[in-house]
Structure 1
Amino acid sequence: MIEKNTLEKRARKSVSFHPLLAFFLTMLSLILVFLINQIVPFGERNVLTYDLGSQYAPFLHELKHTVTGGGSILYSRSIGMGSNTIGIFAYYLSSPLNILTLVFPDSMIQELVTVLTILKLSFAGAFMTWLLERKFKSEDKMSMLFGMMYPLCTYAIAFMFNIMWLDGFALLPLLILVIEEYIRERRKWPVLTLLLLLLFISGYYMAYMVGIFSFIYIVSVSAYQGRFKNGEDGLKSIGFFILSALTAALMSAFLLLPAGIQTLNNPDLSARDTGSLMQPEFKMISMLDQLMEKGAGNIIRNLPLVFSGMTVLFLCILFFLNPKIKRSLKVAVAAAFAFGVLSFQLPVLKLAWHLFDEPNCFDYRYSYLFTFVMILVAYYSYLNMHLVRPRHFFISLGIIFGMAVLSQNFGKMAKEDSTFFATVIFAILICFLLYGKTLEKWPESIANLKKLGTGILAMVIVVEIVVFNPRCLMPDVYADLQDASKFSSMITDLDTLSEKIEDSDSYRTELHQPWYYLIGSNNLPFYTNQHGIGSFATMTNRRTAHFLKQLGYNVLYNYASCFHDNVILPADSLLGVRYIITESEDLSDLELISEKNTLRLYENRYAFPEAFLIREDAGSFDGFALEKDDEVKDYFTFQEEWFTSLSGVDASDIYDSFTANWQPVNGQLSVTPPEKALVPADTFGNDLNNESRDFTAEALKFYLRNNAKSPFMLRAIVTADRDGALYLEVPYLYCQCSTDIYVNEKAVYTGISDSCYT
């Protein structure tokens, strides 16, 4: 009886509630982060920034209506001209937590995203805490705080708007925990298989990075533990791991296979400079910057985001100074950090980590793996810091101070808002508080504070990772998006207007002159439950977008996105665009049929239905003749010839086209092309693009600006002898410059500088 009771007590003792507490503590911390930074629903700052506003949130909106309306997740007419959507579902929407979409009304899409973000990161905190306790066999309550450092690291705070990344981010520590158990007992491989299945289903993009990392982890740990020396033990572990991964992949093939086929059939065809695959990505001094307190900076062109708190950095340095830690372990950890830095620096490794698809923004998407390893090392160092000599604490502090000085003088701190003093202050506080925890007795004058030492340390860490660091990052990420309620009202207005459209199954609805930065041609169909021609997704049909560019629509340089920003009446009519939503008060040849606050719904009476009969030989028309033409490039005649090829009817009088007599203002025509006529981006090739970049092309004209501080203008006088729209095409190869177009001294268009659309 005594033995039984003893076993029961041990069993109860082995159950730790720290992971559960870490879940709720992380949740409370994130709520505080959102509250301090006034992000919806705790303030007016809109959460829908970057791709979250243009892709993820609209896709969630569409997912809800697909499920509740009995639609298909295999095909959608709301994406581009119509698209297979299984790839989009697997890439963006397959997270099991997205089922919460069904319980949120359309107008609360921002609140939904906030809930999903907090939930996913809270799971990350719980799983990280669980891993730390089980891996290091520790019951220290500080494990919860170290676990929270993971979901509150710079990467998570800066990139939380990429909610599709957060599933893999959260599952990483759980997967490593299961791998640790699997290494000890191979019979647990079914659990490993099920977790890999969950990982693959939750989003294959991050699953790829987590999967590669986990394979490197199991090989490295097995090698360090000498399992390859014991006959076939280590090889069997690796073999069963690979078998588990293959089994999980086969079990998720219903999702991964069609998504993979769609990806392979629709690759990014942008040409890359393969000669630079061995050139360093950035200066090594910049890596020091990333380990310091600082703002996010340009989040689109970011460096690796690896900071997770001054405590982690301090303890990682202390790890290498600890004389009682095995040299072999230090060498192994140093090798891991070196490989991580090399993965950031070496373009070929960076490309491999990104699934061999170089991102055009939000770089180093795998940098959280480096943070993950740093936290593991830091916690191990924390558990063993009682073995460190006092001077090692102050050597670590001196190293951090030196890093901060270098960053302030030569790194990002010298160029941006300096956090030098904050870095030094946090480092000093953490140094003395950690050192204090190793002392058996404190000086008599402060001896009573010893009991409070751990609490004060926890408070300092919380202030840094919950208050200070997010405040450094949030302004760069969310900028001036102070209009959460306005966006909700806009969604309600769009819903009201869409109810006025009675024949949506046969025609498309688009916008004219975007009136709100979070609603564009790519996501308007989702918010109105209509069809459109715009699209913006990794799975966009690039060949369709390539052709739409020939018609004058706004298309991204690599054809991954297409926007209907302006009415092109002839092309719109043939593509079935019958309805236009805009804030403009008058659109030529369109009839106003409804209004709601600032928005107006117009009808194009000339629109064809989405499907109609064409000539049998219509496919022989060269849809890309414009790109091969270096002399005239007449976009209007091109459309007329396309119409004729489809119908057999002479369409040569649709446009009354002419070449205006443009007169330069603050500039003069140059017969000699300048050496740097094109921005570097204009020289990027594309396997789809037939455009010539020959400076001798007859269609190209070069002007020299007289006064560099004044705008260069081209002016022409056009006499309109009849009613109707006036069209002007302003083509670019890759990046457009800042362009303003005026008609009768009234601004009608503004082109954003350095936009990758044309």
Structure 2
Amino acid sequence: MARLKNRQKTTMLEKAPFLLSFFIPVLIMIGIFIQRQIYPFGDSSFLRTDMYHQYAPFMNEFMEKLKTGGSLSYSWNIGMGSNFVALYAYYLASPFNWLLIIVPQSLLIEFMSYLIVLKIGLSGLSFCWYLSRHFKTRDLGISFFAIFYALSAYMAAYSWNIMWLDCLILAPLVMLGLERLVKEDKCLLYCLTLGLSILSNYYISIMMCIFMVLYFIALLIMEPNHRGIFKKCLNFGIYSLLAGGLAACLLIPVLFALRLTASGDINIPKTLSSYFSCFEMLARHFVNVETETGLDHWPNIYCGVGVLLLLPIYMTNKRIPNREKIVKGVLLFVMLIGFSLNIPNFVWHGFHFPNSLPARQSFLYIIVLLTMCYEAYRNLRSSTGSQLSGSFWGVVIFIFLCEAIITVETFSFKIYYVTLLFVGIYALLLSAYKKGKMYAPTLAILAFTVIAVEASMNTAVTSVSTVNRTSYLENQDSYHALAEAIEKEDSSLFRIEKDTRKTKNDAALAGYRSASLFSSTANSHLSDLYKALGLEGNTNAYSFTGATPLTSSLLGVKYTLSVNELDSELYTLKNTDGNAKLYENRFSLPIGFMVPSDMAEQWNYKGANPALSQNSFVYEAAGCGDILIRSQEGTSSAGKYSFTVPETGFYYVDVTNSSIKDVTFSNGGSTKSFSNVNRGYLLDLGKLEAGDTVTLTTEQEEQNFTADFYRLSLTELQNCIDTLNSQPLIIDHYTDTTVTGRVNASSDGLLYTSIPYEEGWTVKVDGVETEPVIFADTMISISLTAGAHSVEFSYEPDGLKLGLMISLASVLLLILLSTATYAFRKRQKALAERDSSDEQPKVETKQSKAEEKQPEEKQQKQETEQTAAPQMTTES
């Protein structure tokens, strides 16, 4: 019975590091959630940055597809229509996300928030497992470093970036797999974990693959025995390619889709430059340093201030091989260069400069650093007291130098002294551990307490910002109900927009088709067309903001959602639900209509300004006059533009000074604000009365405010809409990936559609496959002869079949290689056992001879110990 209790106690002690590495970060995060009053502990929500704008809407769209059986190839609810495979691969490919099928839609935000907490805990557990296997130990100390990995500055800065966190969980396992590949010729763990990482998020896995090449070289150099190096290199190459092959079902379609995005162009920097000094970069190891998620290039590398003490001890410890110190020191240096120099930074991010969220590979630096520091910790008792003391005073001097040198505003004086306080505490704890004078459980409890306080304080200070949950979800149910009702009533294919949006992806959140998108997979040609027509367009986004009735109709937007009363000259109220209202646009066009045959060549959509582009369209397409009539100029001055309205009507403003970012419009007692005006969209001022004096102002008073005012001609607009509506594409049926319809062309012409073009669309006219015309470099159009025609559009992501075939072949090849390797090793083991049994008599003879010599050797050993005993006593 006592033996059983001891065995259970031993088992619990062995599990303790893993349990603590998981539960301490989880409990810290839940404690912060309680303090922040995050639901269900209050009415706040952990919707930060892209989690607010992108992940929640995309998750909702994925959930709807899972629950309703929708296609995972394409979505009309994201932008004008988007390749869902590419979007899934970038944002949604985590295996955890398939749990959405059992999650109530009302708890989507909470599923995301607490999934982050779970992934933070799993990151700690994963790194703990790596340290345990790497150092062949279950020492409680591995959990100290695992906690700091789980709650590092990288996690504080990017924990909301839920799509990256799977790679943080898998990175230690991929490293462990690579170590087994090099040291034991065991390749399966490396291949499977790297393949899963690429599947989970191919973008962060680019950095993972770059790091694995560097780490593989480092492992080869650190290997004491360099025999079989060719085999190791061959294994590394084969199983790395197989890992990519396993993920090819997503990778290949993504590679094709990326050609349409702004990220598809690679512009290598021509000159080398530095972002910041070494002191400023290394000081980001201090506690409570504000995390960087903006356009500055600061790396988020904090992982406990104890590393400042332990790294010098690692470098001076005699038990750690010099070759290992040099190689890992160089690896750290290479990674630090990747943060501070522009060209290495460009390479690390997949030959692309990230649009904010800098140093996305810094979690790999943290893994290497913490591994080195744990090795210093486990060998601490072989270090001298002077080494520990020297490390402490060196860190103190470094902290005070940073305080004297660094002028960056994010470094307040409190940061230096709080860091110094924790450094002092850790120095005392390390000294007590080294001397072994403190009761071990007491020391462990003190260490966990200090670590938990530091990690939780840094995370609470630098992370977990919140928004009001009720405000974010306000009217979403009503918008969804209104959209669902109109889809039952109106069988045509149309789009819906909101007059004011919380995000550019509101449609995915409420479940309707729209014309706005914010995504890294956004079609750059569509963004260019938006900007040319006076709508908002950006590197990875395009928005309905700035739309006129004409551009709205060209994009197939038939209905508008609003909580406001909209002008009856432009809108007709169709339905209400709670505070939300659904309006039908009085000026709208179907998803497709006929235009002249030469329209694609004649219309220059990249006109001098948006108004000219729109006016030229109505002239070329319908022979109509200008719909946007330029008014007389107003009075311009620094930071201000005044204008007197000459005629009652709907007015739009083109701010011609592209340096102006924010504008406030004033008309009597009413005001309206516009942001990101430098993105080139038209400012919709609404209906103005003749004689009104309006003012546009910007806080950038140094800028000369220049602008053009345009009045909408409702007469010409109506003539144009009537003409284009005379030959519509009538939709008979549509699904996520197909559209079928018919059109009666009065003469030879071009069928314009507002379906964005990309490889993967197949077009058939009267049952015969037809090559589409790409209208304005963006939209699918079809040349048709006079008469009635049936038209069919079908979509399959370009490269999907090829990717699936490569993935299937990779799975089969991996099974074949694994089976062959297993059979070979089993045969080798059998041969070794047979040889061993054949040689057993000889071994026994040698063993008996050894036993004969044992009494003599034992006596010599005892004499030696007796001689040495007085010396050991004296030394002690």
**Same fold, TM-score > 0.5, yes or no:** yes
Tell me how far apart the structure 2 counterparts of residues 199 and 756 of structure 1 sit (CA, whole Å): 39
**1:571 pairs with 541, 545, 551, which one?**
551
Q: Give per-residue Cα distances to partners, 1:221-261, cap 9 Å, x unaligned.
A: 1211144x32xx12211211210111122232221101111
**1:455 pairs with 440, 445, 460, which one?**
445
What's the RMSD between the two structures over aligned residues? Answer: 2.7
Instruction: Please give the secondary structure, in 2, of the residue aligned with 1:579.
Output: strand
Pairwise CA distance, 1:41: 3.9
The question of 1:499 aligning with 2:484 is answered yes
Instruction: Please give the secondary structure, in 2, of the residue aligned with 1:376.
Output: helix
Instruction: Please give the secondary structure, in 1, of the residue aligned with 2:346.
Output: helix
Contact 2:126/2:169 (8 A) holds in 1: yes
Contact 2:39/2:45 (8 A) holds in 1: yes
Tell me how far apart the structure 2 counterparts of residues 431 and 714 of structure 1 sit (CA, whole Å): 63
Instruction: Please give the secondary structure, in 2, of the residue aligned with 1:612.
Output: strand
What is the identity, as a one-letter code, of the residue corresponding to 1:650?
A: G
Q: Measured at CA, do residues 13 and 123 of structure 1 come closer, stay the same or move farther in structure 2, by a change above 3 Å? A: closer
What is the identity, as a one-letter code, of the residue corresponding to 1:464?
A: E
What is the identity, as a one-letter code, of the residue corresponding to 1:396?
A: S
Tell me how far apart the structure 2 counterparts of residues 115 and 181 of structure 1 sit (CA, whole Å): 33
Tell me how far apart the structure 1 counterparts of residues 606 and 199 of structure 2 sit (CA, whole Å): 43
Contact 2:167/2:204 (8 A) holds in 1: yes
Q: Measured at CA, do residues 622 and 483 of structure 1 come closer, stay the same or move farther in structure 2, by a change above 3 Å? A: same
Q: Measured at CA, do residues 245 and 103 of structure 1 come closer, stay the same or move farther in structure 2, by a change above 3 Å? A: same
What is the identity, as a one-letter code, of the residue corresponding to 1:552?
A: G
Pairwise CA distance, 1:203: 1.1
The question of 1:326 aligning with 2:313 is answered no
What is the identity, as a one-letter code, of the residue corresponding to 1:71?
A: G
Scaled by the length of structure 2, the TM-score of the pair is 0.72
> Which residue does the alignment assign to 1:76?
75
Tell me how far apart the structure 1 counterparts of residues 292 and 194 of structure 2 sit (CA, whole Å): 34
What is the identity, as a one-letter code, of the residue corresponding to 1:283?
A: S
What is the identity, as a one-letter code, of the residue corresponding to 1:379?
A: Y
> Which residue does the alignment assign to 2:798?
none
> Which residue does the alignment assign to 2:537?
555
**2:625 pairs with 632, 652, 661, which one?**
652
What is the identity, as a one-letter code, of the residue corresponding to 1:737?
A: K
What is the identity, as a one-letter code, of the residue corresponding to 2:431?
A: Y
Pairwise CA distance, 1:725: 2.1
Scaled by the length of structure 1, the TM-score of the pair is 0.83
Tell me how far apart the structure 2 counterparts of residues 566 and 197 of structure 1 sit (CA, whole Å): 43
The question of 1:289 aligning with 2:271 is answered no
Q: Give per-residue Cα distances to partners, 1:266-292, cap 9 Å, x unaligned.
A: 34377858233x111212221122111
Instruction: Please give the secondary structure, in 2, of the residue aligned with 1:419.
Output: helix
Equivalent residue runs for 1:353-392 within 5 Å: 353-392=348-387
**1:625 pairs with 576, 585, 606, which one?**
606
Tell me how far apart the structure 2 counterparts of residues 482 and 620 of structure 1 sit (CA, whole Å): 48
Q: Which moved more, 1:344-353 or 1:566-575?
A: 566-575
Tell me how far apart the structure 2 counterparts of residues 597 and 286 of structure 1 sit (CA, whole Å): 53
Q: Measured at CA, do residues 116 and 611 of structure 1 come closer, stay the same or move farther in structure 2, by a change above 3 Å? A: farther
Instruction: Please give the secondary structure, in 2, of the residue aligned with 1:150.
Output: helix
Tell me how far apart the structure 2 counterparts of residues 369 and 224 of structure 1 sit (CA, whole Å): 19
Pairwise CA distance, 1:613: 3.1
Contact 1:736/1:755 (8 A) holds in 2: no
Q: Measured at CA, do residues 429 and 20 of structure 1 come closer, stay the same or move farther in structure 2, by a change above 3 Å? A: closer
Q: Measured at CA, do residues 263 and 331 of structure 1 come closer, stay the same or move farther in structure 2, by a change above 3 Å? A: same
What is the identity, as a one-letter code, of the residue corresponding to 2:551?
A: A
Contact 1:169/1:206 (8 A) holds in 2: no
> Which residue does the alignment assign to 1:739?
663
> Which residue does the alignment assign to 1:304?
299
Equivalent residue runs for 1:536-551 within 5 Å: 536-551=518-533
What is the identity, as a one-letter code, of the residue corresponding to 2:481?
A: T
Pairwise CA distance, 1:497: 3.0
Pairwise CA distance, 1:610: 1.7
**1:594 pairs with 575, 579, 601, which one?**
575
**1:608 pairs with 574, 589, 596, which one?**
589
Tell me how far apart the structure 2 counterparts of residues 337 and 69 of structure 1 sit (CA, whole Å): 49
Equivalent residue runs for 1:7-46 within 5 Å: 16=15, 18-46=17-45
Contact 2:518/2:541 (8 A) holds in 1: yes
Q: Measured at CA, do residues 543 and 413 of structure 1 come closer, stay the same or move farther in structure 2, by a change above 3 Å? A: closer
What is the identity, as a one-letter code, of the residue corresponding to 2:406?
A: G
Q: Measured at CA, do residues 508 and 307 of structure 1 come closer, stay the same or move farther in structure 2, by a change above 3 Å? A: same
> Which residue does the alignment assign to 2:689?
none
The question of 1:725 aligning with 2:698 is answered no
**1:350 pairs with 345, 353, 378, which one?**
345
> Which residue does the alignment assign to 2:165?
166
What is the identity, as a one-letter code, of the residue corresponding to 2:280?
A: S
Tell me how far apart the structure 2 counterparts of residues 42 and 235 of structure 1 sit (CA, whole Å): 58
What is the identity, as a one-letter code, of the residue corresponding to 2:631?
A: T
**1:397 pairs with 384, 392, 395, which one?**
392
What is the identity, as a one-letter code, of the residue corresponding to 1:608?
A: L
Tell me how far apart the structure 2 counterparts of residues 86 and 304 of structure 1 sit (CA, whole Å): 31
Tell me how far apart the structure 2 counterparts of residues 747 and 143 of structure 1 sit (CA, whole Å): 59
**1:274 pairs with 265, 269, 274, which one?**
269
Pairwise CA distance, 1:297: 5.0
Higher alpha-carbon Rg: 2
Q: Measured at CA, do residues 581 and 567 of structure 1 come closer, stay the same or move farther in structure 2, by a change above 3 Å? A: farther
Pairwise CA distance, 1:27: 2.4
> Which residue does the alignment assign to 2:460?
471
Tell me how far apart the structure 1 counterparts of residues 582 and 657 of structure 2 sit (CA, whole Å): 31
Gaps (5+ residues) in structure 2?
Answer: 683-876
Equivalent residue runs for 1:684-723 within 5 Å: 705=638, 712-721=639-648
Pairwise CA distance, 1:42: 3.5
> Which residue does the alignment assign to 1:183?
182
Q: Measured at CA, do residues 158 and 42 of structure 1 come closer, stay the same or move farther in structure 2, by a change above 3 Å? A: farther
> Which residue does the alignment assign to 2:218?
220
Pairwise CA distance, 1:566: 4.5
Tell me how far apart the structure 2 counterparts of residues 741 and 504 of structure 1 sit (CA, whole Å): 40
The question of 1:641 aligning with 2:616 is answered yes
Gaps (5+ residues) in structure 1?
Answer: 443-448, 668-704, 706-711
Q: How many equivalent residue pairs?
A: 671
The question of 1:237 aligning with 2:232 is answered yes
> Which residue does the alignment assign to 2:205?
207
> Which residue does the alignment assign to 1:138?
137
Contact 1:407/1:413 (8 A) holds in 2: no
Q: Measured at CA, do residues 292 and 13 of structure 1 come closer, stay the same or move farther in structure 2, by a change above 3 Å? A: closer
> Which residue does the alignment assign to 2:852?
none
Contact 1:79/1:531 (8 A) holds in 2: yes
Pairwise CA distance, 1:459: 0.5
Q: Measured at CA, do residues 566 and 549 of structure 1 come closer, stay the same or move farther in structure 2, by a change above 3 Å? A: closer
**2:196 pairs with 198, 201, 204, which one?**
198
Contact 2:276/2:340 (8 A) holds in 1: yes
Pairwise CA distance, 1:62: 0.6
Runs of 4+ in 1 over 6 A off after TM superposition: 11-15, 753-758
Instruction: Please give the secondary structure, in 2, of the residue aligned with 1:240.
Output: helix
Contact 2:124/2:147 (8 A) holds in 1: yes
> Which residue does the alignment assign to 2:780?
none
> Which residue does the alignment assign to 1:252?
247
Contact 2:301/2:366 (8 A) holds in 1: yes
Tell me how far apart the structure 2 counterparts of residues 580 and 414 of structure 1 sit (CA, whole Å): 45
Pairwise CA distance, 1:340: 1.4
Tell me how far apart the structure 2 counterparts of residues 273 and 595 of structure 1 sit (CA, whole Å): 53
Tell me how far apart the structure 1 counterparts of residues 656 and 168 of structure 2 sit (CA, whole Å): 41
Contact 2:58/2:509 (8 A) holds in 1: no
Contact 1:125/1:150 (8 A) holds in 2: yes
Q: Measured at CA, do residues 490 and 239 of structure 1 come closer, stay the same or move farther in structure 2, by a change above 3 Å? A: farther
Tell me how far apart the structure 1 counterparts of residues 655 and 509 of structure 2 sit (CA, whole Å): 30
Pairwise CA distance, 1:745: 4.7
Tell me how far apart the structure 2 counterparts of residues 470 and 754 of structure 1 sit (CA, whole Å): 35
Give aligned-pair identity as a percent: 24
